[in-house]
Amino acid sequence: MEQAYKPVDNKFREMLQELVAKKPFIRIQYFSEIREFINITALPKELFEKNNAEYLRLATGEEVRLDRLVRLGDTPAPGYSDDYFKCDI
């Protein structure tokens, strides 16, 4: 069952718009529709809306819902901190 879209923070959306304008090759971490953790390096191509949700389209053709993003480069998405994926030792 599809989870309802949770709009992202405006500052984060602005940062995404800047990335799309610059088109850097960047590491992107996100959760897929089935909660797989995906870690890729790709070019952000555009932001768009579909079915009342916002998405980031990558140059690879993948479409990532903004509320599923975890980290872009070294910047954590809203709701995540730098410590989120550190291993416990």
- Give the domain ranges of the chain: 1-24+36-81
pLDDT recorded at residue 3: 83
In this model, does residue 63 exceed pLDDT 50? yes
In degrees rounded to 5, what are phi and psi of residue 80?
Answer: -125, 150
Given a contact cutoff of 8 angstroms between Cβ atoms, the answer to whether 76 and 10 are in contact is: no
Mean pLDDT of the chain, nearest integer: 90
In this model, does residue 10 exceed pLDDT 80? yes
Q: What pTM does this model have? A: 0.87
For the chain, how big is the Rg over CA atoms in Å? 13
Average pLDDT, integer, range 40-60: 96
pLDDT recorded at residue 81: 80
pLDDT recorded at residue 88: 40
